[in-house]
A and B are shown apart, each in its own frame.
Chain A
Amino acid sequence: MIFIGERINTGFKDIKQAVLHKDPRPLQEWARKQTEAGANYLDVNLGAVSSKAADMCWMIETVQAAVETPICIDTNKPTILAEAVKACKKPPLINSTTAAQDKLDSMMPIAAQYNASIIGVVMDETGTPKSADKRVENAGKILARAMELGIEPERLFLDPIVMPLKYMQDQAKEILEATRQFALFSDPPPHIVCGLSNISDGATYRRLINRTFLVMAICCGMDAAICDVTDTALVNAALAAELVMNRQIYADSFVRK
């Protein structure tokens, strides 16, 4: 399971304040905390706080000063991405391209050039698909472009786009079905990832919904998640699910404490 820590995002107040005042401490605290919890990547998201590439680079450098964990560059702006990849010490994960042609042409070549991995979110010019079939069609476009550019399946993370259960209850089944089909794309298949916390947006029992959905998605072939890696119940449920799917070799002490 590839865990991508979600917490260094200006959507959270403490990170927003830290970026505005160039205070490295909150970013570094979360970098350490998430790394200790076993994060494989740390998502770094500048959000709407600034449109300056220099601010994104500051965030990345601040995180890298504290930990060795690779960065997941969270931006949809090619101009920011082009600078941010240069700031990364280790090959980053780019979050993200979509199946829209302008994104495939602007974001994907940067991943190819810098030996980065990239998340392909299966939306296109017409927006977020409602059906599994449309998600699969868009994923096919992303995979084809990745192959043209020499990005192997192990560097591609397909994201079926998780929608809030509370507001769009019919979508979860479509998302799981799309996940099942992504897993059949190639051998080895591309990684399959999601922004997990979306599933419980607005709900009361968020953690329960998060971990139930993640276990079900793992059953369909998902092997990565952008999530709260400090939620040990979530992480351990995912690790147990991977054992059930025979993707990891069992050991008595498989849980994280």
Chain B
Amino acid sequence: MEIPDVKEKWSNRINTVTLGATREQGGTRGSTVTVGGETTLPFLTFEGEIPHRPVIAGIVCDVVPDRWPEPVKKAIGPVINSPVEWAQKCVEDFKVDLISLKLVGADPQGANRSPSDCAKTVRDILAAVTVPLIIWGCDDEDKDNEVLPECSQAARGENCLLGSATESNYRTMAAIGKADRHKLIAEAPVDINIGKQVNILLQDAGFSLEDVVMCQVTAALGYGFDYVYTIFERVRIAGLKGDKLMALPQIANVGWEVYKVKEALADEDILPGWGRLENRAPLWEASTAAGYLQAGADIVTLAHPEAIRITREIIAELMAG
């Protein structure tokens, strides 16, 4: 019996987004990172084109996040106290494709660092590493509206990925993205309809969707992961079917979200029978990442070096077909 051909033929291609600018392009990066361009669902290399493999962004924070568990801090090493050295180690030892800088220290409830201090961190990291940079605020809307414009200016021309444009701040983000020649993350709170709406708003504000990466507030495994997974998947299918407003690369902020849930934070004394946290934490991170890669993530952020290693292997294996 002949086996029927079950290949899908999609009518549209996902946008291609390049991050980072070399000297010739007006920046100082040694290399750039390109994502997107797919004409099929993740890893179905037999069915369509996947011109760029998904990439790993190593998380670096300006101050050590309070809640991160000891085994994660230990795995990263003493460099965790220096964003510059942390970024260098991410590139040289952990072999990440780019850096995802989280300016958690700007949080008024925490270290409350000033916009100019944050901008200095951005400049220092750009000087210390040559890979492209993702820059996220501290999730306090008012503070981010001060911090992100200054950091954007500090990185002018470097073609960074700035996070995040939302329904409430998209005008500011579109303006700084255009002025300083950066790409933007369009973020929605686990809501595909708002995800689409933010894209429309950015487009109406004159920001090209060719320069946008979509993000849903990323759920860790066990905490609504399945819900966010289906959103990633529906966005990708809509994009491939021809919805230009959804045909965008996607980013999953895995490492940042995973270290909010007890399975990745609490050791055996609190969770008896769950195994040692030093093993479990990176596995929780890598498992979450593996899921989002299958759902359509083009960029995953990761913190633990072991999670980075496992995820890199998963990507290589799945891309080999």
Q: Which residues of A contact B (CB under 8 A)?
A: 152, 154, 248-254
Q: Judge if B243 is at the interface, Cβ distance under 8 Å.
A: yes
B200 touches A253 (CB 8 A): yes
Number of A-B contacts (CB under 8 A): 28
Within 8 A of A (CB), among B238-256: 238, 243, 245-246
Give every chain A residue within 8 A of B200 (Cβ-Cβ).
251, 253-254
A251 touches B245 (CB 8 A): yes
Give every chain B residue within 8 A of A254 (Cβ-Cβ).
200
A249-B243, A249-B246, A253-B200 known; 9 new pairs, CB 8 Å cut-off, are A152-B9, A154-B9, A249-B192, A249-B196, A249-B234, A250-B196, A251-B199, A253-B201, A253-B204
B217 to nearest A CB, angstroms?
Answer: 17
Q: With A and B bound together, what is the CA distance between A248 and B237 in angstroms?
A: 11
Closest B residue to A154 using CB positions? B11
Q: With A and B bound together, what is the CA distance between A13 and B238 in angstroms?
A: 41
Q: With A and B bound together, what is the CA distance between A250 and B194 in angstroms?
A: 9
Closest A residue to B8 using CB positions? A188
A125 to nearest B CB, angstroms?
Answer: 33
Q: How many residues of B contact A (CB 8 A)?
A: 16
Q: With A and B bound together, what is the CA distance between A194 and B197 in angstroms?
A: 30
A41 to nearest B CB, angstroms?
Answer: 14
Within 8 A of A (CB), among B1-44: 9, 11
Flag B119-152 by CB within 8 Å of A: 1 or 0 each: 0000000000000000000000000000000000
Pick the contact of B197 from A154, A248, A252 — CB < 8 Å? A252
B9 touches A248 (CB 8 A): no
Question: Can you pick out 19 interface pairs between chain A and chain B where the beta carbons lie within 8 Å of each other?
Answer: A154-B9, A154-B11, A248-B238, A249-B192, A249-B196, A249-B234, A249-B238, A249-B243, A250-B196, A251-B193, A251-B194, A251-B196, A251-B199, A251-B245, A252-B193, A252-B197, A253-B200, A253-B204, A254-B200
Flag B207-250 by CB within 8 Å of A: 1 or 0 each: 00000000000000000000000000010001000010110000
A249 touches B193 (CB 8 A): yes
Give every chain A residue within 8 A of B245 (Cβ-Cβ).
251
A195 to nearest B CB, angstroms?
Answer: 23
Pick the contact of B243 from A152, A248, A252, A253 — CB < 8 Å? A248
Q: With A and B bound together, what is the CA distance between A152 and B11 in angstroms?
A: 11
Q: With A and B bound together, what is the CA distance between A254 and B204 in angstroms?
A: 12
Closest B residue to A252 using CB positions? B197
Q: Lowest 4 CB-CB distances: which A-B pairs, in order?
A: A251-B196, A251-B197, A253-B200, A250-B193
Give every chain A residue within 8 A of B197 (Cβ-Cβ).
251-253
Give every chain B residue within 8 A of A250 (Cβ-Cβ).
193, 196
Q: With A and B bound together, what is the CA distance between A154 and B8 in angstroms?
A: 12
A46 to nearest B CB, angstroms?
Answer: 29
